[in-house]
Amino acid sequence: VTVRTDAPVDTDLSARTFWAKPFEEREKTFAWLRDNQPVSYHRPYESTLVPPDENTPGFWSLTKHEDIKEVSRNQDLFCSVKGVLMEDFPEVVQVASSSFLMMDDPDHNRLRSIVSRAFTPKRTKTMEDWIQETAKELVDEIVDLGEGDFCELFAKHLPGRIFAHFFGVDARSEEAHQVMEAAERMLAWDDPRAAAGRDAITTFAEECERIHDVALAVAEDRRENPKDDLVTWVVQAEWEGEVMDDWEVASFFSLLGSAANDTTRHSVAHAVRLFDENPDQKALLLEDLDGRLPNAIEEVLRHSTPVMHFRRTATADTQIRGVDIKEGDKLVMWYCSGDRDEEVFEDAARFDILRANAKHHLAFGAGGVHFCIGAALGRLMLQAGLREIYTRIPDITLTEGYEIQVNNFMHGVHAMPVRWTPPRST
């Protein structure tokens, strides 16, 4: 069951060089694995966080939609408390950044439920107008430029401004900017451009600390001056009979800040890229923007899978597809592979905004207890952003220089230069 190395494709998911390849190139490997070795064992990742030694175990790769769902939905057998990423992090760093993402129920649920009421589809719906207004302001600010890096100009500010509101800081403040930038660099620890000369672990830890600083300052204020907002709920909420200490609050906001910002930023960039690469689909979208946008967003999420994996650890010996899994083994659920599984998505490589089952994608997880708490908000931000862009600057086109991050976790866009016709000159 160790991954075959005689395959006609490169099967070494543990090499950093693999994660520097273009996404579609990597998909050839996942396609081969799905067809030939859907459950395969790999050597540990060439991590720069905690470099593996001869005692570091490898991991199982799950590449089929069905297997990923099964593992995701069985937290008794496949737990999160031992780590949720392919790479190991030093424990202190993990605890500082992951909060309930790295817990199992009942602890997970106790913490998650403190904030889940802020993100219900119903409550999210009440923010629709305000989110659309934020998207409009952002386009107002850039529309006359006619060109620039889409990520810098737009993609990162959309979730950045909206999340600042949840954080309780002014959307244009230095603090909001700090959280936005830190979230991006924190989740790109393997990319030398995000690291800017630092090693991976320092990059992750320093950026996480930046989010902590902002969170703790706001938390301090809300303890004195409670409001009806997320930070107040968190500082007042009781967990195991006590309110959370600073450390727990900071970890909580580090999770939220990174989960909300970076994911949405990359998703909106992928949307614009996919419509640029597929003019027929763009024409379909523009024919009926409001009608077709919701399903188009599901298809963007399926096709691009911004969060490519999460990991679980087996709590007992078991089998998947007849393969023996031992207690303590790591299992990586490749959402990016499940989203291209031909058994679920016909002609899966094709970007098809009318695809009937696009929403069966795994971009928000595979239906287990950790399913993305911000899915409704993420969809709404994408809808507002894309509606604004394709109404105001529909001829937006990519120019030279699209680059993705070196990253085994996020399908992250490093740079995406674009050009459009400013409305005044049309």
- Contact yes or no for 140/164 (Cβ under 8 A): no
Helix, strand or coil, per DSSP, at residue 404: strand
Site string for ligand HEM, 312-351 (x = CB under 6 A): ----------------------------------------
Q: Does 187 bind ligand HEM (CB under 6 A)?
A: no
- The residue among 123 and 193 lying less far from ligand HEM, judged by its C-beta, is 123
Mark the segment that binds ligand HEM (CB under 6 A) among 4-12, 51-59, 125-133, 367-375: 367-375
Give the footprint of ligand HEM on residues 66-105 (CB under 6 A).
Answer: 72, 100-101
Kindly give the pairing relationship between strand 330-334 and strand 59-62: parallel
Q: What is the DSSP letter of 43?
A: P
- Is-contact 218 169, C-beta < 8 A? yes
- To ligand HEM, the closest distance from the beta carbon of 51 in angstroms equals 26
Q: x/- string (CB under 6 A) for ligand HEM, residues 289-318?
A: -----------------xx--x--------
The residue nearest ligand HEM at its CB is 374
C-alpha–C-alpha distance, residues 293 and 306, integer Å = 18
Taken as a whole, the chain contains a residue count of 426
* C-alpha span between 100 and 393 (Å, rounded): 40
Binding mask 34-73 for ligand HEM (x = CB under 6 A): --------------------------------------x-
Q: Specify the stretch interacting with ligand HEM by CB under 6 A; choose among 2-10, 184-192, 198-206, 358-366.
A: 358-366
* 270 in Cβ contact with 404 (< 8 Å): no
Residue of 15, 372, 398, 415 that binds ligand HEM (CB under 6 A): 372
Which residue has tokens 């379909």?
284
368 near ligand HEM, rule: CB under 6 A:
yes
Task: Quote the tokens at residue 215.
Answer: 């969170």
Report the residue from 97, 263, 407, 408 that binds ligand HEM according to the rule CB under 6 A.
263
407 binds ligand HEM (CB under 6 A): no
Which of 29-37, 39-47, 255-263, 340-348 is the region at the interface with ligand HEM (rule: CB under 6 A)?
255-263
279-287 vs 289-304: helix crossing angle, rounded to 10 = 150
Amino acid at position 288, single letter = D
Cα–Cα distances in angstroms (integers) from residue 93 to residues 96, 99, 186, 339, 399, in the given order? 5, 11, 11, 30, 38
Type of residue found at 32: W
Contacts to ligand HEM from residues 374-403, by CB under 6 A: 374, 377-378
Specify the residue, 38 or 374, whose C-beta has the smaller distance to ligand HEM. Answer: 374
Residues 6+ apart with CB under 8 A from 291: none
| Residue 260: half-sphere exposure toward Cβ, Cα within 13 Å | 28
Q: Using CB under 6 A, which of the segments 34-42, 48-56, 363-371, 389-397 binds ligand HEM?
A: 363-371
Binding site for ligand HEM (CB under 6 A): 72, 100-101, 112, 119, 255-256, 259-260, 263-264, 267, 306-307, 310, 363-366, 368, 370-374, 377-378
